[in-house]
Structure 1
């Protein structure tokens, strides 16, 4: 049997295979109220129907000012959770595990969405619906407006916002929650010495810079109980000398699992502008190193575009699963197609699509 199509189990949750859908921002909430739309149901549901093992909804803000753009989804109120419920239910009805990524963009919030704005980039002006941003320190992301450094007495509110969002997510039917501590967003901003210049208990040493992430993980674990898997996404490197790196990632990954996380989702970059040597599977070695040095389960991401490559990653133990983004955008039935290419016969091909078997 293909390693890629063996089940993965965590805290009693059985994931039918190891081809998982990455969280991918859609910037599609035109009402700007954080409430997911029919787009999200069809977008995510099609990938569940297409055979993915786990389908993770996009980075969803835990507070309004945590959105990347005004068009982001949220899960900071009950109306949003209620709108997410049919999405989670449909994903589960197709046999996939519904998951959601909980996020706060910090200094990378309040920006023009990546598409549909005539090529504009950067901070959205207040007169167009933008807002002031916050971060670990008052250092801006290049070409963005400067944030305000969070006061230490504001940080418990951030922690509680993540916990409350996790609670709503589970009530809405999501079976896995992920804490977003990567890609230059708020928790990553606290982790990296390139963006955290604090001199209090949340700055300086690695233990201090990791404090907020670990407080969030503990609070999320307490909010969702013992049965719900909790993932954490880290960027394993800032791709910049003196920044966050894979050694620090491995250490904090171990601490995160001690705090209640179950799996680390290993990506890279996003904190500063950097030259990144991309290519097929370019981030997989980081996932492999984090797994080897921390002993925690990991998944791998980053231009994993063909079945044989994905199979090798899992079969060789470089990662426990792969997350795919662009490939699923091109083909929502990617998992089914990969199974065919690897000679696997899956029992969960939709009966309504039986006439299409096998892929040409």
Structure 2
């Protein structure tokens, strides 16, 4: 059997295979009213289709820990119990299919309050359900974004607690794994990188200070997340800046520290914190960053980034470059990719009885 279809255990959670779905925002939640930020039929159908297609682990899209932490007014949230209750329909169905459910907890920072991508993704104001973004420093993402409000230390501590509260609700909602979003130019990534963090207090300046907020979030979430359940962290391994940015060396150093603080797997992506950079996009272009973390630290890793065919995915796992692969666009195109890949490689995935004709 291909290593791609071997089970993988972290703490006491066993994932049936190494084909995983990364968080991909759907921008489809209600922007106002009693069900603001709650998943509904679209989200259920979206995640259910990939579960019936054989995906071993599904990471639910970036879910905000507070209203102002959303990327757009149409993002999912987990800052109240109504939202947690709505997620149970999804986690229950995924569990019935043998798929492990995870959720990415996030705060968008200075990249918050934007429109949906198919509407252009530009910043929106109060007339379109928008709000004033927050960030480590009053530095706009680019010329089209507003200058965010600089977070006070009291507000930083409040956001740390919001992550912990969201993790408690994630457990109540039935999730088996929590992932902390520290990538793609959102709030935690903004603190990590000197490109976006210009603070002069205990949360800025040195590497130790810039990583302080991220580690405080990890510690707060780990304190409320059960010891038998894994905790993931998503990171941008590089800002793709030659100078003054977060680097692959920083990522390797930080991976060891995250592992010591109770993170069980690093979900390795890149970019998103600096506008206008040139990224050499190509098949598997981010895999080497994951492979380096896995080789140089005790941290397990998942690789992502234009992984599209079965042989390519299988080799990444078999060669020890990553412990699992995350397929984004390919699973959007083909929810049954894992089943088809298993047939091609001689592996096995669970097939719903109702789909017995497809075996």
Same fold (TM over 0.5): yes
1:288-330 CA-to-partner distances (Å, cap 9, x unmatched) read 0111122210000000000000000000000000011111101
Rounded to whole Å, the distance in 2 between the matches of 1:227 and 1:152 is 32
Following superposition, the deviation at residue 88 of structure 1 comes to 0.7
Unaligned 5+ runs, structure 1: none
Following superposition, the deviation at residue 125 of structure 1 comes to 1.9
Partner secondary structure for residue 4 of structure 2: coil
Rounded to whole Å, the distance in 2 between the matches of 1:238 and 1:204 is 17
Given the two structures, how large is their TM-score scaled by the length of structure 1? 0.97
1:250-274 CA-to-partner distances (Å, cap 9, x unmatched) read 1111111111110000000000121
Equivalences for residues 11-50 of structure 1 within 5 A: 11-32=11-32, 33-50=36-53
RMSD: 0.9
Unaligned 5+ runs, structure 2: none
1:89-124 CA-to-partner distances (Å, cap 9, x unmatched) read 111110010100000000000001112x2xx33210
Partner secondary structure for residue 3 of structure 2: coil
Rounded to whole Å, the distance in 2 between the matches of 1:43 and 1:14 is 23
Rounded to whole Å, the distance in 2 between the matches of 1:45 and 1:29 is 17
| 2:158 matched residue in structure 1 | 157
| 2:173 matched residue in structure 1 | 172
1:90 paired to 2:93: yes
Rounded to whole Å, the distance in 2 between the matches of 1:270 and 1:172 is 29
Rounded to whole Å, the distance in 1 between the matches of 2:85 and 2:18 is 28
Equivalences for residues 1-360 of structure 1 within 5 A: 1-32=1-32, 33-115=36-118, 117=119, 120-142=120-142, 143-242=144-243, 243-273=245-275, 274-346=277-349, 348-357=350-359
Following superposition, the deviation at residue 161 of structure 1 comes to 0.4
Rounded to whole Å, the distance in 2 between the matches of 1:55 and 1:89 is 13
1:17-70 CA-to-partner distances (Å, cap 9, x unmatched) read 000001010000134410111111110111111101101100000000000000
1:104-153 CA-to-partner distances (Å, cap 9, x unmatched) read 000000001112x2xx3321022211100100100000121110110112
Q: Is the 8 A contact 2:115 2:121 kept in 1?
A: yes
Following superposition, the deviation at residue 356 of structure 1 comes to 2.0
Following superposition, the deviation at residue 335 of structure 1 comes to 0.6
Given the two structures, how large is their TM-score scaled by the length of structure 2? 0.97
Q: Name whichever of 211-220 and 123-132 sits farther off.
A: 123-132
1:176-208 CA-to-partner distances (Å, cap 9, x unmatched) read 000000000000000000000000111011111
Count of residue pairs the alignment pairs up: 353
Rounded to whole Å, the distance in 2 between the matches of 1:213 and 1:19 is 27
Give structure 1 regions of 4+ aligned residues with deviation exceeding 2 angstroms. Answer: none
Q: Are residues 178 and 345 of structure 1, via their aligned partners in 2, closer, same or farther at CA, if it must alter by over 3 Å?
A: closer
Rounded to whole Å, the distance in 1 between the matches of 2:331 and 2:261 is 32
Rounded to whole Å, the distance in 1 between the matches of 2:210 and 2:24 is 27
